[in-house]
Amino acid sequence: MHSRFPIAISRLIDAFASLPGIGEKTATRLVFHLIRSPQQASVELGEAAAELRRELKLCEKCRNVCDSAVCGVCNDSARNTSQILIVEEALDVLAFEKANGYKGVYHVLHGVLNPLEGIGPESLTIAHLIERVKGGGVEEIILAMNPSVEGEATAMYLTKQLQPFNIKTTRLARGLPTGSELSYADEVTLSAALNGRREY
C-alpha cells in the first residue's frame, strides 16, 4: 500500500492508521514526526505501548481498567455502592468522572451485544455483573449504553437478566443525541442525562 516508503515506515503508518480517528494522512504525519524526533522519543513510545499491555488489569469489582486489583472508584469509601452505572467501555467511566455529577460505582461491559459480529453475553462482563448483584446491597442499576441499536438491545437484555432481583433499573435521559458516543459528550449533557434518568 505504501510501496513508495521503506517497509518499516509503511508498517508504522498502517499501525497508526488502524487506531480509531486516525486516517492515513495523520498516520503518515505521525511517523515522519517520529523520524525527525530524537531516537529516544521512538523508544519511549514503544516502551509505553508495551507497558500498557503489561501493567493494566481489570478491576475485580467493576471490570474497569486499572493498575491494581481494585480501581480508585471502587476503593473510594465515599462512593455509593448501592448504585451501579453500567457503561459499554472504560472510556465512558472517564467521561462520567469528568462530569463530576455521579457518586455511585460503575460496571464496565467492554462492548455491547452484536450477534452479527459474534458478540454474545458471554463475550461481555454480564455474568460478573449478575454475581455483583447477587452479592446484595445494590438498590439501583443505571443503564448508560450508547443510544444505538446494539446499545438498546444490550439494555433490554440486561433488564431481563436483572428482573428477578427486583432492583430499580433506570436508563439515562434522552439528552444524548441518537448515534452519539458517551465519550464524546460534554459534561453538561452527561449531567443532564444522568439527572433525568427514568425507569426502564
pLDDT of residue 148: 83
pLDDT of residue 25: 93
Q: Angle CA(19)–CA(89)–CA(62) in degrees, nearest 5?
A: 140
CATH number 3.40.50.460 given to 61-199: no
pLDDT of residue 184: 76
CA within 13 Å, CB half, 115: 4
Q: Tens of pLDDT along 69-108?
A: 999 999 999 999 999 999 999 999 999 999 888 999 999 9
Low-confidence ranges of the chain (pLDDT < 50): none
The DSSP call for residue 21 is T
Give, in order, the Cα–Cα distances in Å from 119 to each of 76, 122, 124, 183.
32, 8, 8, 21
pLDDT of residue 20: 87
| Domain parsing of the chain, residue ranges | 7-55, 61-199
- What is the CATH code of the structural domain delimited by 7-55? 1.10.8.420
d(CA 195, CA 200): 15
